[in-house]
Amino acid sequence: MNASQSSTSSELVVVTGASTGIGRATAQRLATDGFHVVAGVRTEAAAAEVKAGRIEPVLLDITDESQVTALADRVRADRRPLRAVVNNAGIAVNAPIEALPPAEWRRQFEVSVFGQVAVIQALMPALLRSKGRIVNIGSTGGKVAMPGFGAYSGAKFAMEAVSDSLRREVEPFGVTVAVIIPGAVRTKLTERGNATAERLIAGMTPEQRTRYAGLTKAFRTTTESWGTNGLDASVVADAVSKAIRERRPRTRYTVGRDAAVMTRLTHLVSDRLLDRMVRRTMGL
């Protein structure tokens, strides 16, 4: 069906990371579209806030194997076909690469790569049966790696590769894969990422804090601007709805002018020129 046609509650959609921000807005939009949304949240309090007529919250930490298995069991027990899974859960662990402990790198990738893959693997049998769709929430950080965002961008770049490989593997069986690439969005992910960054900066050596003083100041200014000028999460949810409902979805949807510009620049300018443009944008 195309984006102008309504869906029905006879189909399921799974949305991870639905407690706040893009995930919550997506769950609400897809419920309005008519889908029954199984919304992954981390706490009982979040479940109570998210629960609505067509939104069924389930406790889901995508790094917890037992909870991912429980999600697959919930979907398998339902007679309704699984129309789509929206992989939105993620974290932002940001600091200069020199000063970011390996344990923090692992935490970033456990949530933003390995947890995503675990959900895809667990729900693939249902998606194959229904010829459903996988929608991965990417980022301009998966196209351009800004200074200070190495771990976050590394995970997003990895999911770009996973999405490409997966699409080429499963589309012959009727399962489609799309990536949503938002620019700056006003979400609590940015707030939580800033709090994590402050903690990591506090743990740097005096020499590192001096060396990266300009970068950490620019980082704060950049992320604060996202909170002020970023898109509302509902705009991203609209793109997810298109990716799920259009008859022939695109492989990628950019959301926001900044995402469109940055994605295009990676194909048009040299690395050195892009380096200068990124540093100028951040005020470095």
What is the distance of C-alpha 224 from the center of its chain?
A: 19
- Considering the candidates 35, 152, 226, 253, report the single residue annotated as catalytic: 152
SS3 145: coil
- Quote the CA–CA distance of 266 and 145 in Å, as a whole number: 11
Question: How far is it, in rounded angstroms, from Cα 156 to Cα 57?
Answer: 26
DSSP-H helix ranges across 171-270: 188-202, 206-211, 213-229, 233-245, 257-268
Cα angle 125, 130, 134; round to 5: 75
Token pair for residue 42? Answer: 């981390």
User: d(Cα 108, Cα 235) in Å, to the nearest integer?
Assistant: 25
150-170 helix and 102-109 helix, angle to the nearest 10 degrees: 30
**Residue 86 host element (H or E):** strand 82-87
- Hey, what are 275's tokens? 């380096």
* 212 tagged catalytic: no
Q: What are phi and psi of 205, to 5 degrees?
A: -70, 160
Signed CA dihedral, 65, 68, 74, 75: sign only: negative
Tokens of 8: 């029905």
Distance of alpha carbon 96 from the chain centroid: 22
The secondary structure of 20-52 as a DSSP string is SHHHHHHHHHHHHHT-EEEEEESSHHHHHHH-B
Q: Which residues are catalytic?
A: 152
